[in-house]
Amino acid sequence: MLIAVGSANPVEVKAVREVLPNYFDFGDLIVRGLDVSSGAPSQPRNQREIYLGAENKSRRAFEGLEGCDLGFGIASGLVTTPDEKLPRLNRTLCSIFDGKKFFQGWGCAFPINRKVSELILRENIDLDAALFRLGFTRDPHIVRTEHGYVGELTNGYFTSLDLFKSSVHMALVDYRASIKK
């Protein structure tokens, strides 16, 4: 089976590669990352932009790899909570595209420090830049590492790889439910 992941981020590709064998006996499973445009802002600020990014990445990955069976796209961004007193959350969505239909699943969400989210919104920068500028990390690309910012917050107990994998698992729930009908 040939799988395309719409991402140049090796952590997103690894998440798909590690999760898929838990659901299917693929035999020869090939997972390739493709650097595609999400068509969404680099730092999505709401669920609509997260959906747009994940769907575009999965569709463009599928279309960009000849003979592809499934395209995957993962996108994360800020979402608000119903109670404005609470901090914004970082949420991750995985979208799977089979050439005709999208299948999606939300992964875990975690709160983003209010100063960080305010800087992102005020200056239109991404999470990496805001975390680095405010001194929350010394790595200017922490979000794109396997450990990630959530790994910093959890002392490595739960990492960006885990976060991405949680969304892949949930998207596969949607996909498998549709093929079992």
Q: How much helix, strand and coil, in percent to the nearest 5, is found in the chain? A: 45, 20, 35
| Mean pLDDT, the chain cut into blocks of 10 residues (181 residues total) | 96 97 83 96 94 98 97 96 86 97 96 94 94 93 91 94 98 90 58
For 98-142, write each residue's pLDDT tens digit: 999 999 999 999 999 999 999 999 999 999 999 999 999 999 999
Residue-averaged pLDDT of the chain: 94
30-42 b/e with 16+ CB inside 10 Å = b?
Answer: ebebbebebebee
pLDDT at residue 175 in the model: 96
pLDDT at residue 181 in the model: 58
Structural domain boundaries of the chain? 2-111+158-179
pLDDT at residue 5 in the model: 98
pLDDT at residue 82 in the model: 84
Q: Name the 3-class secondary structure at 109.
A: strand
Phi, psi (rounded to 5 degrees) for 41? -60, 150
Cα–Cα distance measured from residue 153 to residue 110, given in angstroms and rounded to the nearest whole number: 10
pTM listed for this prediction = 0.94
CATH 3.90.950.10 for domain 2-111+158-179: yes
